[in-house]
Amino acid sequence: MAHVEDATDPYLPLMIWYGVEPLVTADKAATLSLTSKANIPLLRRFIARRDLDVDEPQTEPVVRLAMRTSNENVRLDLLHGMLDALEARGKQPVPPSWDALYLQVASSSNSILRSIPVRLATIFGDQKAIVKLRQTALDGVAPTHDRRDSFRVLLKLDDGEPVSMLHELASESSILRRDAIQALALRNDTSTAAVLLGGYADFDPAERQDAIGVLGTQRNFAAALLTAIENDVVSRRDVSAFALGQLRAFQDAGLMKRIDAL
């Protein structure tokens, strides 16, 4: 296994994984120990992921192994595998050794090795990590992929992105504005209509369609949208047949009368 990383066959790591995978469930401790000896990054990552891809993941052994290794590439693959296994599961118990590992990787020169533990920390309910993700998402000079990754992680958390943050992102011209507008469809905040209509003139065509879609999700939003159309803030040509169907679906006599008048 020590020399396989030099092989030119791109399928070889996967072939090895298919042979190793059944052993992970048969003897987790022994197979997990292979990750510190394996020279194949994909294999290290897959072993960690498979070890935790169970009903009740035991994260402490993976955390301890990541702490013991002095090889940052191995540590990165272990943490990446852990993230792959846990990200869709929601909040998890904090491993006893997590804080010590987090301190180890926080000062790494590898930006990816610093960012993955932040995402894992949110799964473990670390409020400081959540604050850091919010700061990154709002940072206009941060790399685009960092902002998007932070935003998407926060979306998966209960109250990860407060409405005020989504309003701020929807009000500024940024790579996250459309994401923020779409996310507002899941929030029933009375001030959302004013925020979307206030910035409507600056939205591009796709953002305008998203905004109209959000405004069609709540009865009070729909009334605000109709007022904006009546006042020529929103062009009636921007309202698609689908959006019109959303407005009619409320079966509100007052709204129907205004729709028919338009």
Q: Which residue has the tokens 């309003």?
A: 167
Least confident residue range of 10-24, 122-136, 146-160, 237-251:
10-24
Per DSSP, 237 falls in state G
Tell me what the pLDDT averaged over the chain comes to. 88
> Burial, 92: exposed, middle or buried (Cβ in 10 Å; 0-12, 13-18, 19+)?
middle
**CA pair distance 259, 229, nearest whole angstrom:** 10
Q: Which residue has the tokens 């993955």?
A: 116
Q: What is the pLDDT of residue 197?
A: 96
**CA pair distance 129, 121, nearest whole angstrom:** 6
Least confident residue range of 4-13, 18-27, 111-120:
4-13
Amino acid at 157: L
Go through 212-223 and write b for each residue having 16 or more CB atoms within 10 A of its CB, e for each that does not: bbbbbebeebbb
Residue 65 CB neighbour total at 10 angstroms: 21
Per residue in 249-262, pLDDT (tens digit) is: 999 899 999 988 88
pLDDT classification of 167: cutoffs 50, 70, 90: very high
Is 7's pLDDT higher than 50? no
Residue 78 near residue 44, CB atoms below 8 Å: yes
Q: What is the pLDDT of residue 2?
A: 42
Mean pLDDT within 58-65: 93
Task: Give me the sign of the Cα torsion angle 36, 42, 43, 44.
Answer: positive
Q: What is the pLDDT of residue 202?
A: 95
> Burial, 145: exposed, middle or buried (Cβ in 10 Å; 0-12, 13-18, 19+)?
exposed
Per residue in 68-94, pLDDT (tens digit) is: 998 999 999 999 999 999 988 888 999
Indicate the pTM of the whole model: 0.69
Q: What is the pLDDT of residue 3?
A: 46
Amino acid at 162: P
Percentage of the chain exceeding pLDDT 90 = 47
Q: What is the pLDDT of residue 9?
A: 66
pLDDT classification of 14: cutoffs 50, 70, 90: confident
Q: What is the pLDDT of residue 4?
A: 45
Per residue in 193-203, pLDDT (tens digit) is: 999 999 999 99
Q: 87: number of CA atoms within 13 Å, CB side?
A: 17
